[in-house]
A and B are shown apart, each in its own frame.
Chain A
Amino acid sequence: MVKKSLQRLYLFLIFVFLYLPIIVLIVLSFNNSRTRVVWGGFTFDWYISCFQDEKIMSAFLTTIQITFLSALISTAIGTLAAFGISAMKKRGQTICLGATNIPLLNADIVTGISMMLLFVRFMDLGFMTVLAAHITFSIPYVILNVLPKLKAVNRSTYEAALDLGATPLYAFYRVTWPEIRPGVFSGFMMAITMSLDDFSITYFTKGPGVNTLSTMLYTELRKGIKPELYALSTILFFIVLIVLLLGNIRPQRKAQQL
């Protein structure tokens, strides 16, 4: 019994460690005082000025554009690549997977700088370079999620469908797709997660006037803290919470599978 309550206490402490900073941000977002810690009454002002702040809103918009475009494109390229790789001989597979691992293993700062060196030479830094960079580091996650599913697909079912007169596309849609769909889905979500959270690579590959939330925040943080940022944190936290709660059935099922 003592052991059990000690365990609970430990979990609780870690829980506090993880959530205390977020709670502080949320509380301060309603604080009617510019100075940091004095409670000056309840207000919604920071939310209003947050939505009126052009820098914050344009960074928010850019982040959404970059995230979804890069996730969609990298999911497409990555899924196709998984098909290609699975058809390769052993050696080809090893080489391809080795290359896939590079951006996963490499430090973000090195990946970011290497791309910056290339972009600076051959193109203008801007929205497109950030997008290209995000696609690059997202593809490996898609491949690593799709490939195992693809390997588990039974080839002969697909061939049987062809024999029975299905077009390749129809056979793919009815036979292969349902099998790999969870992999494609988790690859897509990983791509979104990674893209949303990236700072270093965006920092080095972005051009003038293009800011994702992370790089905008970095610039703003170095000028001092604006209360609008607390409001932004709170909004983002609840967006994430809601989106994740909607998809929450999944981790549970996964835990049971394993």
Chain B
Amino acid sequence: MYKLRQQFLAGPYLIWIVGFILLPLLMIVYYAFTGSDGSFTLEYIAAAFTSETNRRSIALSLELGLICTLICLVLAYPVAMILNGMHLKNQGFVVFLFMLPMWMNFMLRILAWKLLLSKNGVINSVLASLGLGRVSIINTPAAVVLGMVYDFLPFMLLPIYNAMTRIRTDWIEAAKDLGAGSVTIFFRIIVPLTASGIISGIVMVFVPSLTSFAISQVLGGGHVLLIGNVIEQNFMQGAQWNAGSGLSFVLMIFVIASMAVFGMIDRDGEGTAIW
């Protein structure tokens, strides 16, 4: 009786889920599977794979997403390890410093990179004043990847660091006593014990980098057409809602499927526990 009453507390939430999560998703499914005249069609789902434009942008998104995730992992893992091994008095504060840029507005972080990278931007001016020529990165996929790495690096760092802090030093001591070398310790103890953090990090970096459209728009100068840009254009410029929904649907299925492959959904939200 008592428990039943308590269950009702979830009422507002359930109504909210139905109204603002399930119903909207049904709308996408509806538009994805109907033509402009409202009849059932698989045309738009198929177009995700048959259209040259879509194929190319999907391939590019996957490529940039994977590169970005890999770079984040390679950059963040050593940071987490070093930070964890430092045993500073104010370790929390140092970690905090590494997280701080994440709270800067997303758009302002991109703005900063546009400023640094543009043809007559900060980096090129510095290089020129040193007589070193210039780099032309802006409006290329490399600039987009750079922007993504900058934006998403903390999402990789945090879960790995959190997993790292849970490794007890006596386990490593024990392994050392038993004759394990540092390479063995790294691959047999540290990596497996931080696997959950790595996976959280990968998910939290890969999904947004795969689907972002603002970064590629601002730093790509119209040259870099990611799957997100195609969807955005279908909705905001082309008035092709069915095509856009078809693509969104495919993207959604792909994201969910790829997470099922990882076999682990970040249930405790540990990866997201910034606070």
Consider the complex of A and B and state whether they touch directly, i.e. have CB atoms less than 8 Å apart. yes
Would you give the 0/1 interface string for A104-141, flagging 1 where the beta carbon is closer than 8 Å to chain B?
11111111011111100100000000001101100111
Most chain B beta carbons < 10 A, residue from A18, A96, A113, A233: A113
Residues of A within 8 A of B23 (CB): 118
- Name the distance in Å between B159's Cβ and chain A's nearest Cβ: 12
Is A71 part of the binding interface, using a Cβ–Cβ cutoff of 8 Å?
A: no
Which of B45-53, B78-86, B132-140, B171-179 interfaces with chain A? B78-86
- B232 to A109, Cβ gap below 8 A? yes
Question: Is the beta-carbon distance between A217 and B107 smaller than 8 angstroms?
Answer: yes
Mark interface residues in A54-97 (1 if CB within 8 Å of B CB, else 0): 00000000000000000000000110110111111000100011
Contact A222 B218 (CB under 8 A): yes
> Are A84 and B11 in contact, CB atoms less than 8 angstroms apart?
yes
A236 nearest CB across to chain B (Å): 6
Knowing A197-B105, A244-B103 are in contact, say whether A117-B31 is a contact too (CB < 8 A).
yes
| Interface flags, B117-137, vs A, CB<8A=1, else 0 | 010111001000000000000
B24 at the binding interface (Cβ < 8 Å): yes
Chain A residues, CB < 8 A from B184 = none
Residue B237, interface by CB 8 Å: no
How many contacts between A and B, using CB within 8 angstroms? Answer: 263
- Of the candidates B16, B115, B251, which one forms a contact with A135 in the assembled complex, judged by CB atoms under 8 Å apart? B16
A204 interface residue per 8 A CB criterion? yes
> In the complex, A11 Cα to B80 Cα: how many Å?
10
Instruction: Assess whether B274 is interfacial by the CB under 8 Å rule.
Output: yes
CB-CB contacts of B3-15 with A at 8 A, as 1s and 0s? 1101111111110
Assess A248 versus B92: contact at CB under 8 Å? Given A84-B8, A117-B24, A221-B218.
Answer: yes
Residues of A within 8 A of B268 (CB): 144, 148
Q: A14-B79, A84-B6 are in contact. Are A115 and B165 (CB under 8 A)?
A: no
Q: If A106-B252, A258-B165 touch, does A193 touch B103 (CB 8 Å cutoff)?
A: yes
Shortest Cβ gap from A192 to chain B (Å): 9
Instruction: Point out residues on A near B: beta carbons under 8 Å.
Output: 7, 10-11, 14-15, 17-22, 24-25, 28, 36-37, 77-78, 80-81, 83-88, 92, 96-97, 99-111, 113-118, 121, 132-133, 135-136, 139-141, 143-145, 148, 185-186, 189-190, 193, 196-200, 203-204, 213-214, 217-218, 221-222, 225, 229, 232-233, 236-237, 240-241, 244, 248, 250-255, 258
